Structure 1
Amino acid sequence: MNNRYSRQELFSPIGKDGQKQISKKHVLIIGMGALGTGSAEALVRAGIGKLTIVDRDYVEWSNLQRQQLYSEEDAKNRIPKVIGSQYRLAAINSSVAIEAIIADASAIELEDWAKKVDLIIDATDNFETRMIINDVSQKVGVPWIYGACVGSYGISYTIIPEKTPCFSCLIETVPLGGLTCDTAGIISPAVHMVVSYQVSEALKILVGDFDSLRNKLVSFDLWKNQNRAIQVDKLKKGDCPSCGIQRSYPYISFENQTKTAVLCGRDSVQIRPSIPTVRDLEALEKILAKQRGTIQRNPYLLSYTENSHRLVLFKDGRVLVHGTKDISEAKALYHRYLG
């Protein structure tokens, strides 16, 4: 155990002092898909003090191609991603405190979580959540690292409040991508490359070496052998609503928070109650047992399948409606079975 981090400490920009700093830091990862599992494992192996992981979903077979912490058993049992990750990460490094949260990353929760951490790593699959992360980051003053990948393409950028342009500054000027894994697929090397960029920047922040941060937006296409690094300092806007002089943080205002979302790469819609809810899954199982469908339940969620649709219900009130991308149809199914 004494030489666990010896190779990392031999790297002079970190050293023993840097390792001590890493062991005291707390990182929040939003999303435990491909990028999230890769970053989480790297940080746990590096000796982070505490890691909080947040994800709203559970493990499916299509995840196993690139989401490195999960097993076939996790997919068979539809284990929530953060639970499967927590188990595996604890086996990798038992000295790291790992907090697993099965939840959607809405503005209220994100702001509360952000106040307790030193860094946020984006591993989400949608721009709405990223815009919320960005506003929370600017409001609380916590750095965050953007990352995304699709096909063989990847992109990453590090945002330091009060210093760099924020995500909102960039979206009108820099092409941040429009394809999804649903339309273009994805290969695992693209995931690993983005993870490498994100974790490298994370380690610099955690040891306090801000002068070594990249300060550029990087993108690549591994299949086309292309790499780009764009200087974006001049894109910082004084009138930006998220980081400007008269900022209003528009993406964390309640009226801008949607209660439904079509999930990336999935024929599915998430429905989130407009007010906080705690579901009694056992009681709900008894109610749905009177219907014609098939029910499965584990300690974390309840799955109800009828014909071509499947509803997966979580304790926090969220429901994933599988078998449709139509929000209206998903809501109809939701109200049919849940009122």
Structure 2
Amino acid sequence: MRDKVWEQAEGLVNDYIQPNDLLTLVHSYLRDKQQESCYWQQLTLYSHWMAGGSSDSIYRLAAISELFMLALDIVDDLQDQDNVDKPWMVSPPSHTLNAVLGLLNCCYGELGRLKESEPFAIYPLLGEASRLAALSIEGQYRDISNAVESEEDYIIMVQQKSGSLIRLAMYFGLAVSPMSSPQLAVLDELASCLGIIAQLENDLRDVGRLDAKSDLLSRKKTLPVLYLLSYSEEDFPILQQYYEGALSKEKFLQHQDECLAFVEQSGCLQYGRAIQNLYIDRAHELFDLLEGVEEWKEKLRVMTIGERSPASEAASALLHPEGTED
């Protein structure tokens, strides 16, 4: 399955980019991407098969999913200036940007071509892909411009930035399947939950480090960071001063041991994990509401949030006993 998708991705790139240095560059990015998980293609494939789809185009759509997300990952790394060892960060930025444009051109070109041969059953594929991509870009802009000031702002930003991409990857599979409209509404909420769960996992990892991927050093306002800032003025004012620009990075790093101790003792990790668990529980509820081929629904569940533990099922039963409303 994995090899089949990457074979399609390589062929698609060859179809749309002329043999030259740019094509060689894009293939080098693809080779690096193949070393990572196949999360995006699995979202596309499993969603399709869960919905009872059997399209001959599904591996091509899964390849488009991977290429689309690779392009956006590259842009994200350029904006954040992290993952510095990736080939697209080593290449001159002008070359990398051309590669991104080439990847996006491959995706939109192939979506247009597929529309001629596939009876898309739900929405116009190009229009929906563009809408969800634009929503994700808006969320990314809110993130990098530090527009987040509250938990509500954070949730909205993540729903746009991450949830929209998960919805898009699923949509690539669902657009050529017999999924019903009510089920699409369930999947919309599920995608938002999955985006928040995944983003919180990243944020909980990155709040406790002071290296190139540190959210604190980048002055990002993630949910754990917002929690820290709410207590910082009293318990660790140096963090507040750094975020306000009153303290340089060099001077802030002179207090890194104190900072890491503050993170550990503050309760921000426990708070973030508690919020994440709420969304995990809701995601399990939404999976239970989904109809379709049970085998692929469970594969999709395990891939994104894992199996529901007996403890989680017991807690859910206590919170929502049979015959009561939420």
Give the strand-richer structure, 1 or 2: 1
TM-score between both structures, scaled by the size of structure 2: 0.29
TM-score by length of 1: 0.28
Identify the structure with bigger relative contact order (alpha carbons < 8 Å, sequence gap 6+): 2
Q: Which has the higher helix share?
A: 2
Higher gyration radius (CA): 2
